[in-house]
């Protein structure tokens, strides 16, 4: 099987499919996923919690470990800010993630659950500690560094690029700035660094494009975040609204058969 690291080829993107439970992970594997990721938001939804308000590190590790065990695919953990401000705490999260069998994790530069960004130099220091912990592991481990300020309206693309370049300089394996304002901005990001770049396929700008479009820009990886989980919640919402508000059930007729689901998860 191709290693998680070897999947990351600029200009030849693969889909890093974000699962939210064992069943969704098995379906995604059956449908052709080469690697999986957790999603902090989608995981929180399964626990009946809003995004950003409380999946603990222990919960996230156990959740990720379940997906690893269920599929055998490389799995990346969506591990927010590493569950700690201090670089040493982030390094500890890397070690625990590797012990759980993860192929890598991503670390944000936002002080979760706020939208406040760490100062640039401190953000780089945190990634440097994470990289050092990853390199000390007995197995390969892909460290993705995230600059979340564009998505949270905390800083602009110039600052995001400066942070990504700093993350690359201290050894980050993959770089990620979720939801730039345009595909031109994605092209700027890819041109500004040499490490593989991840793009989040969510929202109208990015879901309107094809794999080939992203390949032309030099993107190496396409992740889904909570978009696929939210798509399933859209179906749940719409069918429930029809049942409880209109006394009708036709949307249930669009479901796939139980036999099909059984085949996908076994």
Q: Looking at residues 90-115, what average pLDDT do you find? A: 96
pLDDT at position 1 is 66
Q: Looking at residues 212-234, what average pLDDT do you find? A: 97
pLDDT at position 180 is 98
CA distance 43 to 37: 11
pLDDT at position 164 is 98
Q: Residue 109: CA atoms inside 13 Å, Cβ hemisphere, count?
A: 34
- Token look-up 């879901």 returns 207
Domain map (residue ranges) of the chain: 5-226
Q: Give the DSSP letter of residue 117.
A: B
47-92 pLDDT tens trace: 999 887 679 999 999 999 999 999 999 999 999 999 999 999 999 9
111-136 pLDDT tens trace: 988 889 999 999 999 999 999 999 99
pLDDT at position 51 is 82
Estimate the crossing angle of helix 22-30 against helix 57-71, to 10 degrees: 40
Looking at domain 5-226, its CATH class is alpha beta
Q: How many CB atoms lie within 10 A of CB 68?
A: 19
Whether residue 34 is predicted with pLDDT greater than 90 in this model: the reply is yes
């Amino acid at each position: 099987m191709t290693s998680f690291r070897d999947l990351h080829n600029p200009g030849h993107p693969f889909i890093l499919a974000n699962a939210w439970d064992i069943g969704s992970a098995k379906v995604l594997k059956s449908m052709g996923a080469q690697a999986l990721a957790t999603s902090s938001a989608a995981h929180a939804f399964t626990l009946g919690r809003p995004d950003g308000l409380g999946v603990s590190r222990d919960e996230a590790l156990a959740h990720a470990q379940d997906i690893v065990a269920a599929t055998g695919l490389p799995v990346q953990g969506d591990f927010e800010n590493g569950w700690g401000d201090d670089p040493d705490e982030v390094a500890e999260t890397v070690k625990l993630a590797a012990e759980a069998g993860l192929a890598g994790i991503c670390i944000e530069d936002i002080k979760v659950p706020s939208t406040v960004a760490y100062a640039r130099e401190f953000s780089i220091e945190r990634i440097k500690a994470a990289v050092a912990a990853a390199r000390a592991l007995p197995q390969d481990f892909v460290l993705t560094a995230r600059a979340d300020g564009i998505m949270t309206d905390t800083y602009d693309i110039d600052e995001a690029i400066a942070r990504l370049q700093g993350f690359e300089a201290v050894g980050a394996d993959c770089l990620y700035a979720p939801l730039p304002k345009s595909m031109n901005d994605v092209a700027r990001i890819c041109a500004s660094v040499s490490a593989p770049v991840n793009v989040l396929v969510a929202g109208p700008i990015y879901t309107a494009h094809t794999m080939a479009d992203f390949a032309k820009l030099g993107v190496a990886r396409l992740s889904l975040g909570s978009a696929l989980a939210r798509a399933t919640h859209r179906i749940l919402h719409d069918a429930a609204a029809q049942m409880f508000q209109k006394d009708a059930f036709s949307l249930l007729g669009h479901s796939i058969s139980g036999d099909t689901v059984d085949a996908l998860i076994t």
